[in-house]
Amino acid sequence: MQASHPHRIQLQPGYVLHRRPYRETSLLVDVFSREYGKVGLLAKGVRGGKTARVDSLPPFRPLLLSWTGKGELPLLTGVESAAPSPPLQGVALYCGFYLNELLQAFLHRHDPQPLLFERYAGLLADLPVTGDKDRLLRAFELTLLQELGYGLQLHCDAEHHRDIQPGQSYHYVPDRGPIAARADAGSIRGITLIALREGRLDDAATRREAKWLLRRVIHHHLAGRPLKSRELFRQKSHESS
């Protein structure tokens, strides 16, 4: 797949997902670009020193990135700000970290995800202003799973392929789907599955169940790898991812 990659990419819209220091003044940057998906880039001379005091590669800011070279580690040749950083503060900022951690864990390199990119950009812009972060995060998690081939089955039960009944309880089995079951601590109500499908999580119980369901499914696909940003929310139990 990499052979088909052009050598020189100009002003590609993208976001920084993660950066790690490399050598003295360089960074290894994972970016989520619109047309090329997740790409690892080497950014030389952007760290430390007198000339690089201001961060030119902040996460969450819409950027236009140029890079050159194929292979494992192309070289970042230019970065421009496409728009100001969204004013993410407090819980919205925690949510941003959570999104980046999710993308970092789920995206494969050089696998374009245009729809996910669009949703991510929209979500970053919405997070600072919305009062309903839960609904937006759940919608994003659903899209993420869907786009990467782990979509949730929210229309019919996995055993008898009957429509989800609002009054019925289900056990959700990752990779299979909901299976009708008696209500217990591990079950989820049909009405929650329907609400999730329709993107309206109106009451607290539905939110809690939806969050719990998605957390379990994500956890399953991450094969035990923990998501660290969730720990930030622990102080704020009433408003978490």
Partner 1 sequence: MQANGSVGRLMQALRCLPGVGPKSAQRMAYYLLLRNRDGARVLAESLLAAVDRVGYCERCRSLSETALCAVCASPSRDQSQLCVVEMPTDVYAIDQAGCYRGVFFVLNGRLSPLDGIGPVELGLDRLEQRLAGGEIKEVVLATNTTVEGEATAHYLGEMAQRHHIRTTRIAYGVPMGGELEFVDGATLSLAFNGRREF
- The binding site for partner 1 (CB under 8 A) comprises 17-18, 20, 24, 54-55, 58-60, 81, 84-85, 88-90, 93-94, 96-98, 100-101, 104, 227-229, 231-232, 234-236
Least Å from the CB of residue 38 to partner 1: 13
Structure tokens at 171: 């056990």
Least Å from the CB of residue 129 to partner 1: 16
Give the alpha-carbon dihedral of 238, 59, 229, 193, to 10 degrees. Answer: 60
Least Å from the CB of residue 128 to partner 1: 13
Q: For partner 1, give the closer residue by CB, 83 or 205.
A: 83
- The span from the CA of 125 to the CA of 119, in Å, is 10
* CB of 116 closer than 8 Å to CB of 144: yes
Least Å from the CB of residue 95 to partner 1: 11
Q: For partner 1, give the closer residue by CB, 105 or 173.
A: 105
**Phi/psi at 21 (5° precision):** -60, 145
Question: How many other C-beta atoms are found inside a 10 Å radius of the C-beta of residue 210?
Answer: 22
The DSSP code for 144 is H
Least Å from the CB of residue 211 to partner 1: 18
Q: For partner 1, give the closer residue by CB, 179 or 227.
A: 227
Structure tokens at 68: 């050159």
Q: For partner 1, give the closer residue by CB, 37 or 96.
A: 96
Query: Could you give the angle at the alpha carbon of 8 between the alpha carbons of 144 and 21, nearest 5°?
Result: 65
Least Å from the CB of residue 228 to partner 1: 4
The DSSP code for 88 is -
The full DSSP string for 164-201 is PPTT-EEEEETTTEEEEE---TT-EEHHHHHHHHHT--
Least Å from the CB of residue 196 to partner 1: 25
Residue 50 one-letter amino acid: K
Q: For partner 1, give the closer residue by CB, 33 or 229.
A: 229
> How far apart are the two ends of the chain, measured CA to CA in Å?
35
Q: For partner 1, give the closer residue by CB, 18 or 135.
A: 18
Q: For partner 1, give the closer residue by CB, 56 or 130.
A: 56
Strand-pair category, 37-43 with 8-22: unpaired
